Structure 1
Amino acid sequence: MDLRSRNLAIATGALLVATYSIFTVFIESTIPNINNSKSSYCQVPAIYNFGDSNSDTGADAAVFGPLPLPFGMTYFHKPAGRLSDGRLTIDFIAEKLGLPYLSAYVDSIGTNFRHGANFAVSGATIQRADALMLNKTFNPLTIPVQLSQFQQFKRRASDLYLEAKSSEIKDRLPRPEDYARALYTFDIGQNDLHAGITTMKEEQVKTYIPAMINDLSSVIKKLYEGGARKFWIYNTGPIGCLPFFVKNYPPAPGNADKIGCVESYNELAQEFNKQLEDEVSKLGLQLQESSLVYVDVYSLKYSLISEPKKHGFTDPLGKCLLWEDVDVMKACDNPLEYINWDGIHYTEAANKWVADHLQDTFVNASKIPLTESCWPVSGSHR
């Protein structure tokens, strides 16, 4: 597969998380300010992330090799296993929590898992890889497989930690007591919708959503049974506003919203998000010792795309990365002005903007106050 085909395959099979839906209660007095990583009520010792290319920090690159520059150009100044010009939202969250960037679970070189691990991989879905609507075109490392990887990781890392005689080995492994205090994040679902949009009618895609939500819920429950207590569950972004879909699957007459996004695709994302939010609410009642936070990235990203100039961006339905020839890519002159990097994935600047505003969308679906669940605080709540 040539470079352009491979990039297109990855781009068309990667992204996650679902839609705008306002939950029943916003925690006005307990939602913390996460903009100050050094000041915290109590410390989150680790992050375990599950998802797709929106939060893949090196899994795909470890298996297939990293994409060349200009990927990684803005921050790392070299390819860094991320489908962006720089850092992802998960990187900024790690920074805000005072933690190092997450090592990909499948990466065997230079990894350090003391403060968590990343099981996300580009092209991952919630559904099994052989599901009808996926047509075996997406990554087989689905969310149930990522759960299995975590369970194996936990068993082996815990055994090795207890058996290790060297502090050098122990310092690269999670402390067994930290699993219960860690933050578990989920950023997955958009590839499932992507597959549906490109293979069947949107009404048919909707019939698959309950099964997707059930599968994701099952993974969260199993993690809870294993001792996990703190969860962030991202919904999916406005897929109808991605340049890839606007260009390659353009809206039919009457199917474009006021800013030019494909309205029916966004409505599909919103339906996924509504069902996801309802399920998170139910889990909050069922898992009594949990802190589940529903994170509405859809509303953030749509707000950013619909008012780009207000937030310092330009060309909201355009992309920074362009093809000059079959295997030659060229980035725009200033990625900091662009929201979208390659038609599917966001730029570092947009990822940072989203991370900086996440707290505005937190909805706590459990009885445990966020400030008692080790979220960073800066001394004042909104």
Structure 2
Amino acid sequence: MTRLRRSTTLLSLLLGLLVCQQVQGEPAEGCFPAIFAFGDGQFDTGTISGTFPTILAYDHPPYGQTYFKKPSGRYSDGRLMLDFIAEALGLGRISAALQTVTSDYSSGATWGSAFSTITSVAAGHTAGPGLFLSPFGIGVQVMQFVEFQLSVNSQVNKQARLMAKLRGDFTDDAPSEDKKKKKKKDPKKPRYFLQEINNDDEMKPLAVNMTLLELEAPTMRLPKKGSWSNALYLIGTGGHDITNNLNNGKSIKHVEDMFPRLINTLGESLTRLNHLGARHVIVFGLEPQGCQPWLLTRIRHTADDLDWKGCLVKYNNLVQNFNRMLRNQVANWRQSHDGLDIYYFSQYDVKIGLLTNDTAGFKSTNTACCGVAGSTYNVNLMVPCGPPAMDPATNMTETPTVCSNPNEYLYWDGMYTTEAGNRYVIQQMLTGKYFDIPFPLLTEKCVVNPLS
């Protein structure tokens, strides 16, 4: 074997070690070392994009234009609530767990999926014209988390064994042909990995210019030590269970009768997460869906069906009933799960408050910033925000346009919130006013960064 081949063999060994990740570092006192998120599009930073690349409108401009300057796998013009929570906690971007090639999971991961549900999706069911339902319901997401945790733990254990062995094979000097000649150690020199290479006839030491730090650096790409039990877990889903059933002809009474089963299913997922280490959990209540531009477009209505804010009364009442049941169940889960710090966050109250708060800076609260002009709510259900598309109703190609001031709009594409709206919701969350009980670990003990 030539020296070049020996070097190549050893470097291949070392590069193989680089993929072995290690959880390291201790969580900061009173704060969260990572975020793990489950639910629908409010937490989706690339799940659907990674699964169905380039197929959906939000993989194309103008999505992402405000902050990322390009599509980023998010249903928004910029950052999501998940991004702002991570920023407040001093964490990096929360990558979608399905994006495994280049992703950095040192700050956690999200299994959130746009258009996902609590219940399993029946074949052929859709959320309405031009929409679909995700195959990644909450139960599937939790199963994916189980696999993620097993994979991380396996890599950690493997890397720990390898590093323990390799540390003994590092030296401050490259091997010298002259064994009698001793060189003074230079603290600035890199440490060398020393490995005996079999050259058929003899064993010779070979030094590779790779420092111990270089070997350990890739281990920073997984959650830090203690993350399973010290991380902040976010759960937010259920809205598409309501709209899917109503849009498939189910009555409001039928949907309300489903609520106990939906929340029980959510509880089963929560219990499993708790068994896997989850201790600090925020459950997001549903937003006022009756105010969403896409639903106002989808549901035929008269002025009598709207409240003074321009929202569909029956839909918002339905959402409030779900939220009340969910909030009560969160309190029950808190009592029935030992060591579980769980809180209900009323996203509904935040957004309803925004609709009536003239000082919040939002001038348009039920019109989409990005959509096809000409409709009351700037929404064409068959031509979503994104690239030009054929409208089957007119057989004409329509081109969505973008408002000039997205920071003054609550809704970006008619369903999902603008970056400005997401920032506002998290700013209100961090005041602590919208939790069912005080959450001092988040709002008092943790040093929270101002949102950009």
Contact 1:41–1:371 (CA<8 Å) still a contact in 2?
no
Which one-letter code corresponds to 1:363 in the other structure? D
- Give the 5 Å matches for 1:1-382: 42-66=30-54, 67-130=59-122, 137-164=132-159, 165=163, 166-199=215-248, 200-252=250-302, 254-307=304-357, 309-323=358-372, 325-326=388-389, 328-358=399-429, 359-364=432-437, 370-371=440-441, 376-377=446-447
The alpha-carbon distance between structure 1 residues 130 and 152, as it changes in their structure 2 partners (threshold 3 A), is: same
Structure 2 CA distance for aligned equivalents of residues 372 and 82 of structure 1: 25
Structure 2 CA distance for aligned equivalents of residues 300 and 277 of structure 1: 15
Structure 2 CA distance for aligned equivalents of residues 133 and 108 of structure 1: 29
The Cα shift of 1:134 comes to: 6.3
Percent identity, aligned pairs only?
30
The alpha-carbon distance between structure 1 residues 144 and 375, as it changes in their structure 2 partners (threshold 3 A), is: farther
Deviation track 1:13-34 (CA, whole Å, cap 9, x = no partner) reads: xxxxxxxxxxxxxxxxxxxxxx
Greater shift in the superposed pair: 164-173 or 216-225? 164-173
The alpha-carbon distance between structure 1 residues 197 and 374, as it changes in their structure 2 partners (threshold 3 A), is: same
The alpha-carbon distance between structure 1 residues 53 and 222, as it changes in their structure 2 partners (threshold 3 A), is: same
Greater shift in the superposed pair: 177-186 or 64-73? 64-73
SS in 2 for 1:179: helix
SS in 2 for 1:360: coil
The Cα shift of 1:371 comes to: 3.1
Q: CA RMSD in A?
A: 2.4
The Cα shift of 1:372 comes to: 8.7
Structure 2 CA distance for aligned equivalents of residues 172 and 41 of structure 1: 21
Contact 1:88–1:351 (CA<8 Å) still a contact in 2?
yes
TM-score relative to the length of structure 2: 0.70
SS in 1 for 2:226: helix
The Cα shift of 1:303 comes to: 1.3
Contact 1:291–1:373 (CA<8 Å) still a contact in 2?
no
SS in 2 for 1:120: coil
SS in 1 for 2:155: helix
Contact 2:345–2:434 (CA<8 Å) still a contact in 1?
yes
Which one-letter code corresponds to 2:102 in the other structure? G
Structure 1 CA distance for aligned equivalents of residues 427 and 308 of structure 2: 26
The alpha-carbon distance between structure 1 residues 192 and 250, as it changes in their structure 2 partners (threshold 3 A), is: same
Contact 2:292–2:414 (CA<8 Å) still a contact in 1?
yes
Provide structure 1 residue ranges, at least 5 long, that are not aligned to the other structure.
1-39
Contact 2:363–2:409 (CA<8 Å) still a contact in 1?
yes
Which one-letter code corresponds to 1:360 in the other structure? K
Structure 1 CA distance for aligned equivalents of residues 116 and 71 of structure 2: 21
Greater shift in the superposed pair: 228-237 or 247-256? 247-256
The Cα shift of 1:131 comes to: 8.4
The Cα shift of 1:318 comes to: 0.6
The Cα shift of 1:377 comes to: 4.4
The alpha-carbon distance between structure 1 residues 302 and 158, as it changes in their structure 2 partners (threshold 3 A), is: same
SS in 2 for 1:79: coil
Which ranges of 4 or more aligned residues in structure 1 deviate by more than 6 Å?
131-136
Structure 2 CA distance for aligned equivalents of residues 145 and 122 of structure 1: 14
Structure 2 CA distance for aligned equivalents of residues 130 and 176 of structure 1: 39
The Cα shift of 1:135 comes to: 8.7
Deviation track 1:28-53 (CA, whole Å, cap 9, x = no partner) reads: xxxxxxxxxxxx86220010000111
SS in 2 for 1:168: helix
Structure 2 CA distance for aligned equivalents of residues 240 and 79 of structure 1: 27
The Cα shift of 1:109 comes to: 3.5
Q: Which is bigger in relative contact order (C-alpha 8 A, separation at least 6)?
A: 1
The Cα shift of 1:375 comes to: 5.4
Higher alpha-carbon Rg = 2
The Cα shift of 1:176 comes to: 4.9
The alpha-carbon distance between structure 1 residues 119 and 313, as it changes in their structure 2 partners (threshold 3 A), is: same
